[in-house]
A and B are shown apart, each in its own frame.
Chain A
Amino acid sequence: MNSLRKYLDNIKPNFEKGGRFEKFRSTFDAFETFLFVPDKVTRSGSHIRDSIDMKRTMTIVIIALIPSLLFGMYNVGFQHSLATGNTSSFWQLFGFGFLKVFPIVVVSYVVGLSIEFIFAQVRGHEVNEGFLVTGMLIPLVMPVDVPLWTVAISTAFAVIIGKEVFGGTGMNILNPALTARAFLFFAYPADMTGDKVWVAGLKAGKNMVDGFSGATPLGNLAQNIHKLPDHMDAFIGFIPGSIGETSKLAILIGAAILLYSGIGSWKIMISTLVGGLVMGLIFNTFAVNDYMRLPFYEHLLYGGFMFGLVFMATDPVTAAQTERGKWIYGFLTGMLAIIIRVFNPAYPEGVMLAILLMNVFAPLIDYFVVESNVKKRMKRYKQAELLKPLSTDTIKEPSHEYSK
């Protein structure tokens, strides 16, 4: 790799201040640091540093997302074959799904990263790695038949309005991937709702088998049609839905990776899960319609609840940042997700709105948690103030009550 390093060192002066391509400094820097971890050393403070960096962190999240992505690709082919009645081999199904999903991934990354590079360049910053994860999350929460141009627009919206206007990765208030989905949902509802978008090729309406609806289980529930898949299918993921959300098994593999590496907050995952289950139980207790009667644990099997709780609610930037706040944030997210899901007939999926809403409230939760810590401290400070005349210079001789 020495020749590559030498080549980079050779062309580097062109990109530095005063160089010919100074305008592309951030871009060069992004590629250089991608290829080589820089030779920068510490100057003061802690002379040694942990091997972790943002690239490694984000890579681990992407690895955690890969099972969902691969299964999503296969399921796209599988659902299509169900709808059209064609039987094909595993690789044919996967290949069909790959060709459907891969372009969405490419569009998401190309659009998002281009914007990130431009912003980094304008600001004179290094390119942030945050979008590596967002770019993967966006395709996974999209319906497969979403037009590519809307993916591009919603990605651009999410990156610019959802993130860069706040100062970039680490400064945003809303989860960018969910911002993209929410934008698409409200701006182009036809591409995001109804029965036609969840299975590849249904919108075109070709060669459908009789009786195939294409609706997601939650869509069916919302319309009071009882056509729920059996539990195993829903767990493995052979149901219609957003590309990455259907397989609970793949999501759990991702969750295991996030939890083991310590990157995903187990507190948020557990509390969101508990929040959802508790709300489900409450609905079961006071059930007045069929949707409320849905056994509470089945909520985990349908829709994006599991995907949201593992990959979206745990986003460290937009979730609550204090440890106690995380419990509250997760619990409320879980409850809200189920409430919106059950009570909102227009929109059968609640987890997206629940997380976005709680993103907005996360700073408030943190405020109260931090404030309770401050309150204790201020109380102590006040007491010290009251005792002050006793403890300053005026004391002549110290006592020695415990000498010898």
Chain B
Amino acid sequence: MPQHFKIKKGLNINLAGKAEKVIGTTNTSGLYALKPGDFHGLIPKLEVKEGDSVKAGSVLFTDKSQPEICFTSPVSGTIAAVNRGERRVILEVIIRPDNRNEYETFKTGSPLSLSREEVKNLILRSGLWPAIKQRPYNIIADPAVTPKSIFVPVFDSAPLAPDYDFIIQGSESDFQTGIDALSRLTAGRVHVNIHAFTVSPAFKQVRNAQVNTFEGPHPAGNSSIHIQFVDPLSKGEQVWIVYPQDVVALGRLFTKGFYDASKIVALCGSEVENPRYYRIISGASVKSITNGNVKESVHRYISGNPLTGTQVTSESYIGYYDSQISVIPEGNYSEFLGWALPGFEKYSFYRLFWSWINPRKKYELDTNIHGGHRAFVLTGMYEKVFPLPIYPMQLLKSIIAEDVEQMERLGIYEIAEEDFALCEFIDASKTEMQALVRKGLDLMKKEMS
């Protein structure tokens, strides 16, 4: 049954620099990279060495503990470098493209006519499996498990988020094929979760899936919210999450028979001259889309949105899961009596600064922390931006105390880092909550396995 949910708690942060719905022209990326660090908890086993030539879809590395999960090259070319960090951890596998666009070929066919095993093995081999994430723990899905349902969030409510209605235009049939493929993987249903304002017929009239409508402020687009309202997760259960562009890639895999890693990303943020969308191949360099389009000063480049993204440099590469590059000012300045000034320019969730006079203003927020780390003092504030039926502060405290049993009782299976991003944003005590949640999830996983 399609359902409609209205979310009341949350916060839309009005940031300057939303991407205009135009596809810009990119410089072709000189190099491409696949970064094991994008996949939390992965210990990669390298399958290629420097100088090897690869096709798009050739295996670069696999998961050491689950070797059937392949990570494949997005382009054809040669391996330019394997960059390692401390203790020889693989940071990036860099591919120099040959621009011949050679692909590893796979079997084609409607996923509905294939068996579950065939669908699964094809996705595993193609390198698209890592696009499927599981809850609990928010990591790559375990192929040995049949999830009770699969969630496809087709809108993003985060600040400056890309518009999937726009991105999916022209790929409607691939999206449908992707959904068909996903429907073979679960014992339950595929849930396509749309916003009340979603117009794309690809989403609204999708077949082999249940369409649920959500409305309300951020985090209405977060998967945890959808799961909680549609099909709540309990201990021992698993649900999977796939993002819309990856569903399209899945569809292309079944219709074209190769791994087409092209996708559209939004370049946004107050430091971008002309924020817009770009068509890239997954793993492209950041500068291939930012070149010449960013104002001159000190910036923070973020792969993802400013609330949950990963810090990158302009020389780095776009993250595997990200459909957005945000560029915002660095906040490395000290401000004389800044805490005491009236603050007409200072965005705050609280009415402690005079900026509340102008609620419609768009803000150019920077990366300054605006204060020092303190114990939790204010209460009841996190709950105002946290729509899940979970006590956020109590859960965080149980993570700090490493009390595994209490974490389970307070609902750690039902959350991911991103759910605490708004709490972290409005937190007066400046606690690094998302890192804390990750620590809790890792601890939980270790204890449960």
What is A's interface to B at a CB cutoff of 8 Å?
1, 4-5, 33, 35-57, 59-60, 126, 128-130, 167-171, 260-263, 265, 267, 316-317, 319, 321-323, 326, 366, 370, 373-374, 376-378, 380-381, 383-385, 388, 391-393, 395-398, 400, 402-404
Q: Could you pull out 25 A-B pairs where Cβ atoms are within 8 angstroms?
A: A37-B337, A40-B369, A42-B369, A44-B311, A46-B434, A50-B349, A52-B348, A52-B350, A52-B426, A54-B371, A54-B428, A56-B353, A56-B428, A126-B372, A128-B375, A168-B375, A316-B377, A317-B377, A322-B394, A323-B383, A374-B410, A380-B232, A384-B234, A391-B148, A396-B116
Docked pose: A190 CA to B160 CA in angstroms? 64
A385 near B371 with CB under 8 A, answer no
Asked whether, in the complex, the Cβ of B330 is within 8 Å of the Cβ of A263, the reply is no
Other-chain contact of B337, A35, A51, A262 (Cβ < 8 Å):
A35
With contacts A5-B334, A47-B328, A48-B425 known, is A37 near B186, CB below 8 A?
no
Once A263-B350, A316-B378, A323-B380 are accepted as A-B contacts, the answer to whether A41 and B330 lie under 8 Å apart by CB is yes
- On whether the beta carbons of B352 and A57 are closer than 8 Å, the reply is yes
> Is there an interface contact between B146 and A393, defined as CB atoms closer than 8 Å?
yes
Give the secondary structure class of A's interface: loop
B237: A residues at CB distance < 8 A: 384, 391
Q: What's the tally of chain B residues with a CB closer than 8 Å to chain A?
A: 95
Asked whether B340 lies within 8 Å of A49 as measured between CB atoms, the reply is no
Q: Is B235 in contact with chain A by the CB < 8 A criterion?
A: yes
5 closest Cβ pairs, A-B complex: A53-B371, A170-B375, A37-B338, A384-B234, A51-B346
Is the beta-carbon distance between B331 and A39 smaller than 8 angstroms?
yes
Since A37-B334, A49-B430, A402-B210 are in contact, a sample of 11 more A-B pairs with Cβ atoms closer than 8 Å, ordered by chain A residue number, is: A36-B336, A37-B368, A39-B332, A41-B300, A46-B306, A50-B428, A54-B372, A316-B379, A370-B394, A381-B234, A385-B236
- In the bound complex, CA of A397 to CA of B119 (Å): 12
Which one, A45, A47, A263, A322, contacts B300 given CB within 8 A? A47
User: Which of A1, A167, A376 has a CB less than 8 Å from the CB of B336?
Assistant: A1
Residue of B nearest to A53 (CB): B371
Does B334 lie within 8 Å of A57, measured CB to CB?
no
Question: Min CB distance, A326 to chain B, in Å?
Answer: 7
Are A46's CB and B370's CB within 8 A?
no
Judge whether A46 and B425 touch: CB under 8 Å.
Answer: yes
Q: How far is the CA of A128 from the CA of B430 in the complex (A)?
A: 13
Instruction: Note all chain B residues with C-beta closer than 8 A to A45.
Output: 308, 417, 421, 424, 432-435
Pairwise interchain contact B374-A49, C-beta atoms closer than 8 A:
no
Contact of A53 among B188, B409, B430 (CB under 8 A): B430
A366–B381 Cα distance when bound, in Å, is 16
Question: Which chain B residues lie closer than 8 Å to A47 at the CB level?
Answer: 300, 302, 306-307, 309, 311, 326, 328, 367
Q: How far is the CA of A403 from the CA of B308 in the complex (A)?
A: 36
Q: Which residue on chain A has the smallest CB distance to residue B378? A: A316
Q: Which of B183, B334, B340, B351 contacts A59 (CB 8 A)?
A: B340
Decide if B377 touches A51 in the complex (CB within 8 Å). no
- Asked if residues B370 and A51 are in contact (CB atoms below 8 Å), the reply is yes
At the interface, yes or no: B208 with Cβ under 8 Å from chain A?
yes
> Is there an interface contact between B426 and A56, defined as CB atoms closer than 8 Å?
no
Q: Which residues of B contact A366 (CB under 8 A)?
A: 394
Q: Check if B409 sits within 8 Å of A261, measured CB to CB.
A: no
Choose from A5, A169, A261, A402 the contact partner of B374 (Cβ within 8 Å): A169
B214 to chain A, nearest CB (A): 20
Give bound CA distance, A380 to B236, whole Å: 11
User: Considering the chains assembled together, what is the distance between the CA atoms of A397 and B115 in angstroms?
Assistant: 8
Taken together as a complex, chains A and B put the C-alpha atoms of A377 and B407 apart, in Å, by 12
Most buried by B among A51, A393, A404: A51
Q: Contacting B377 at CB < 8 Å: which of A36, A130, A261? A: A130
B335 sits at the interface (CB 8 A):
yes
| Whole-angstrom distance between the Cβ of A223 and the nearest chain B Cβ | 40
CA distance A302 to B220 in the complex (A): 48
Interface set, chain B 339-363, CB cutoff 8 A to A: 339-340, 343, 346-353, 355
